Every structure is written in structure tokens, then in C-alpha cells.
Amino acid sequence: MPADDAFDATLSADALDELEARGPILPPGAVLAERYEVLELLGQGAMGEVYRVHDRDLDEPVALKRLRHASGEHAVERFLAEVKLSRRVTHRHVARTFDVGVHEGRPFLTMELLEGQTLEAVLEARGRLPEEEALPIAEAILEGLGAAHDAEVVHRDLKPANVMVTEDGRVVLSDFGIARALHGPTLTHQAQLVGTPLYMAPEQVRGEPVDHRADLYAFGVMLFEMLTGRSPFQGDSPVAIALARLSNEPPDPRSLAPVSDGTAGAVLRCMARAPADRFEDVAALQDALRGGGCELPPPPKLDEQSLAVLPFGYRGDADSDYLGEALAEELVDVLGRVRGLRMVAFAATIGRGPQAEPRETAAALDVAHVVHGTVQRRGPRVRITVRLVAADGTQRWTERFEGVVEDVFALQEEMSQRIAEALRLELGTVRHAEAPREAIELYFRARRSFLVDGYDEVAGPLGELETCIALAPGFTPAYALHAAASARSWFTSVLRQSHGEAGPAAERSVARALERAPEHPDTHLARGILALQRIDLPEAARALAHAVELAPTLALAHLYLGQLQLEAGQVAQAESRLRAAMSLDPTIAGMAQLHLARIHFWRGDAEGFAAQLEGVRQLSEGSPLQVARVRATAWSGEPRWAEAARADLGQLGPGLAHLVVLADYALGEHAPAAVDAQVEAFLETVDNARFAAFVRQILVELHTHRDAPERALAHLEKLVEGGLADLDWLLRCPTFAELREHPLFRDAIRQVRVRARSVIDLDVARTATWSS
């Protein structure tokens, strides 16, 4: 049984004031009431701890919840009421409560030990569930909830964290910690906020009396999340999200994911603002779901583009005349994975041949656009020209791609992906025919600058995108790209000590993109980058995976996913994904090569490392390259890397003085204490958790290199406290060969390994790299 979220921050401030500071955790072997032997701590929160214990009387493991010592009677009273309520609910889909008692002045209860994971963990890993998978889970929740309501019990804190999915597939509703009987005594003041804000019914938010229909509202929010992978309301904080439902209607789930009309209707009726507009009871809701849901008006029109690809013409050696047809067929397969794009099967166009007239083809196949082109081969070199033609015969776009034939299948795959991504971006602008050409040009210029400039500078694209938005307020791709650039600018601006309001600005831009362009891939790329800056790796992985689900050819999403996989210790998968990102978009090669350089060096491949850094240098001699060189001196003990970095840093301006200090320190200059003092002063101005962790990682390496292990370990402790999840760094960085034997270092590995699982355990099947 995982950590019990019943004890999280779901109670009002008044209720928490009743509780004193946390007492000591019970160690393994402790015995309560001469019966329950503690095996391990499962979780803890504001109200207490949850343990796996051995029940000596029954000779079996059970879960034990222990309330924290209370300074008043209300907390104990509420806890005892939980037991009484839980015992009144008996059902296969409700966790059973066994016993209640008091140990050393602190009350406890024992309950069924459930092996599995919470629905919250399932959704974190999966993002969203197909309707055919979500509905059986919803049915099981309703079965348990109906049994509770029949016993006159309102849960009042229904949420995915309080639903267990056991290893054998059983769905179990748990934690009636703040429930109360419909006709029982009131244990909290009516005005107190009791529940979890994200799932509260409007009447709960307002502090009004609630009944069983508040549970139906929370169920509707849960089912919305299961079906769409996101919360129905957005905001800067849980309280802001709770308040949003007082004045705003939830979005139609059909606008966010493939959801049937009937199920969408049931979800929206559950989330009606007025209790009287919701279902009368659980049975009525079950009847609606089993009978196909509720009637709704037609779903909102999806922003879908229809497209047909003609076989490409071929010019060149006769033995390769199949290339035109093969490339077009591969392009159809790749484009077919892009959300919001309706592709005509290649079999419907192959008979028309490369000479078919695009306008006639569009009319015959009922599509808005036709793609056609030519493949030219001369020796090993291939040139591909692609054109996008509208149904009225207007040529919307053309571009030329070049490659070298080494492996025909690899070339076919790579070129189809690059063409698909270019087409995806162009079609995204075609949807906004009202946008002036100047705005479109600004958008593409900003996008190229965003990709080419890499880590060094992304402030420029922000100005162009703001102008673009001012010219075309309805052009949603600009909001999404602005969010991605803002999120990355938060990191790069710190590097140049010009961050200021970069963090809050990134938060605002991403929130705006989620509102204006909720299903644009760049929006979720931005969401992922922002989560990375906060070191919220599960959220980053979910967002980036969703971006790839929406646009399988989005190179930057693959790049960041590769970075996450690398840090989680999945080196082979990371390398494959990073190379796929470079293949999809060569303009981001420098960013990918920085990660690949680390892989090569730690693998013992010094030549490969040097080759990757040379690739980075050819694109940019900016600060990321110099940081990699400084670290290489710590890894290898060779001063030439830091010497080269120090020489180049002098040409990059005074804004990088802190990096010069690190280069000097790598070369034996400065005392460890002086470096720490200077860096700590700098970090006090940094509000970006990812950047601060990056700097501390470098310090751990440099202190170890300079034979200052105590200082290295001190920074490592701060890293772990701050959420470090770079397991690969701890396990493979060559600088730590001796430090790894230290108990603190071993403990860091243990903690970081657990965090790395949050990435490894994610279902990444839908984010597989093209080369896999």
C-alpha cells in the first residue's frame, strides 16, 4: 500500500492548528497494543503516519494509521468518527477497517493492506486512459461510492489518491478521514474548508453544507481527468483552481480527447455547478453510463486538417526508381500519427501516379490539401522537393530536403520524418488564414531562432512572438511557441544573470498557452520544460510524452525526453532518442550533442566525447560548450579542457564571470571556501531549481577533483534535499570513484534511485523513438 494521501494537506487551517508538531516515527519492530508489530513506514502527512504492520493475532500483514498527538479533543474525535463511518461501509470496492485503539496517547486504526498503486499514480504514468479502460474503473468507484451513500456516508474527499488499483485489478475506495454521516453530528465548523481543492464541489468551496452530490461532482472531475489527462480547470494554485469552478463551466472533454457523446454528457452533468443539476444519486449516474450516457449537442468541431500524399516523381538511376513511391508511403505513415490530421490511405492515391493534378485529386478524395513532390538521385546524394497545394490549386508551401544514401531504409525514414514535421508546422499556420503574412513570417523566424540559438539565448524570439501575437491575437501557435521559449529562457537568462522576472513570466506564458492553445504540441513541450525547471520530473515526463503523442516528429520533445531518460539511468534508450531528435531536426544538434558527449566520456570513449564537443563548437562557442569543457577537466584530470574554456569565456563578456571562477577552480586556483562563498552568493539570487542543481552538480565534481570531499558531500546533501534525480550522474561520473564508498553518497544513490523510478515507470510506449 503506497503512502496514504488521507493525511495530506486537505484539512482546514483551523483543524491543523489542533495538531502539535510531528512526533517520532515508529521504528521497525515497535509493537502497538501488544498486537501490531511495525514492519515499515508506508507514508506520512499532516494528520499522521501509515505503517505496514504484522497483526500477531491474525498472523497477517495489515495497514495501520496512527494519528499525530493532538492538543485538543477535536482531532481525536474526528479520527474515531472515521472508524465508525468506515465500519458502516462494507463492499468489495471499499477498503475494510478492522480495529481501533490508542497507543501512548495516540489513537490508531488498522485496515486492509492493499498492494498496488493509486489511481493518481496510474494517471501520472499514463497521462490519460482510453474510454474503454476508464469506464470499468469508474464503474467500480461508483459501486463503492454507492455502498457508502447507502450507509448515509459522504466521502467529501474523493480523488485519485484515495482510489487504489490493486495488483489483481481490484479497484478500492479508501480514506473516509474527513467524511461524515449524513445525519451524524457535525465535527467541523461549517465555514471550514474541508477537502482537496482540485476536486471540491462549488458548494464545498463556498463553505456551504454538502450532501452526496458533492461526491458526484468529485467523481466527475476524476472521470474527466481519466479521459483527458488534465484537470478541467486551470490556475496558478489549487485554491485558484477551486475558485475557478465558481464562475466558469468545465470544458467539453470531447474537445480534448476522443470521448463518446454520452460519456462526455455524463461527465459534464456530474460537474454541474448547482447540486440540483447533477444526477440524483449514484444509481442514476450508473444507469446513464451503462445506457450510453447523456445526450449532448454535437461535439465542438475539431481543428482537423485533411491531407492526401501523391506518389513522388523520380529522376535518377533506374535501380532506385522505387524511392518516390516508397518515400510518399512512409510519409503517409508518419503523418498519420499526428493528432488532428486526417490522412487518406496511400492506396487511394497510388493509382493516380505522380503526374496527377493536385486540385482534381483534392476534389476526388475530399481533402483540403495535397502533398506532391519529386525525388532526384545523383550517385549517393538525394534531393527531395515537396509541395503543399490547397484544394483550390494554390501552392501553400514548398521546401527542399537533401540527404546521402547510405542505408536506403534509414534515409526513407529520416526524410519522411523531417518532411512531416515541416508540413505539420505549415499546416498549423494554414488553419489561421486570417493571420497577416507578417505575423506568420515573424512566427517562423522566431521558431528558427528558438531552435538554432539553443541554450545560449532565447530572449530574441520572445520579442518577435509578442509582436506576432499583437498582429494576430487569434494565431494560437504563437502562444504555444512563446510559452516554450519563455520556459527555456528561465534557465538561459539565469546563466547570463539576467533572469529577473523570467520565472514568473514563464509561468504566465505557459498558463496562457494552456488556455489559448491547449492541444498544441508546443504548449505541452513548454509545460514539460517548465516542470524540468522546477525539478518536477513526473510532470515533465507526462507533458513531454503528451507533446510527442500530439506530434510524433517534435524534435525538442524527444530531446528533453532523452535527457530525462539519461538522468534516470536508461542510457541506451536516451542515446537512441537523442540521435532521433538530431535526425528529426538537425538545427538542435548542438543541444543533443552536449548530452551525447557525456555518454561517450562516461563510457570511456574519449574520442567520441571530443567529436561530440567539436560538433557543438562548430555550431556555437557559447557558455554550454565552456561548461562541458570545465566539467571534462574534473572528469579526466586533464587541464587542457578548462584552459580552453577559460580562454573562450574571456571573449563572451562579463556576464559569465561566475563560469570563469569555476574554470579557474578546475585549474587549481582559488581556495575551496572562497569558491563556495562566491557561488552561494550567486545562488541566493537564483530562483530556478534546475539551474541551482546544475551548478551544485558541477561543484560536487570540482570539489572532488580538488580533493575537498567534505565540501562535495555538503553540496550533494543539498542536491538530494532539492530533488536531485540524476541517477546516471551518481552511478557513472568517473570523478566519484572513491566518493561512492562514503555512507552519505550511498544514501544519496538510494534516494535518487527511487526518484528515477518516477521516470522509468512511466508508460513511454507512445513516445518510442523512430529508430526503435
Three-state DSSP state, 204: helix
Measured CA to CA, the distance from residue 378 to residue 405 in angstroms comes to 10
CA 55 remoteness from chain centre: 40
Three-state DSSP state, 86: helix
Return the closest-CA partner of residue 47 out of 121, 119, 106, 113. Answer: 106
536 is catalytic: no
Nine-digit cell string for 485: 521559449
Measured CA to CA, the distance from residue 206 to residue 198 in angstroms comes to 14
Three-state DSSP state, 174: coil
Nine-digit cell string for 214: 458533492
Q: Give the number of other CB atoms < 10 A from CB of residue 651.
A: 8
Q: Give the number of other CB atoms < 10 A from CB of residue 637.
A: 12
Q: Measuring CA to CA, how many Å separate 199 from each of 192, 230, 497, 728?
A: 16, 13, 40, 37
CA 691 remoteness from chain centre: 18
- The phi and psi torsions of 174 (rounded to 5 degrees) equal -130, 170
- CA end-to-end span of the chain, whole Å? 35
Measured CA to CA, the distance from residue 464 to residue 444 in angstroms comes to 10
Q: Where are the alpha helices (DSSP H) in 496-622?
A: 502-516, 521-533, 537-550, 555-567, 571-584, 589-602, 606-619
Is 218:200 a contact under the CB 8 Å cutoff? yes
Return the closest-CA partner of residue 598 out of 568, 565, 626, 635. Answer: 635
Q: Which one of 157, 175, 252, 648 is the catalytic residue?
A: 157
Residues present in the chain in total: 772
The burial class, CB within 10 Å (0-12 / 13-18 / 19+), for 353 is exposed
Q: Give the number of other CB atoms < 10 A from CB of residue 76.
A: 17
- The phi and psi torsions of 461 (rounded to 5 degrees) equal -60, -30
Please tell me what DSSP assigns to residue 53: E
Nine-digit cell string for 213: 452530490
Q: Nearest 5 degrees, angle CA 37-CA 43-CA 45?
A: 120
The burial class, CB within 10 Å (0-12 / 13-18 / 19+), for 673 is exposed
Q: Which residues participate in catalysis according to the annotation?
A: 157
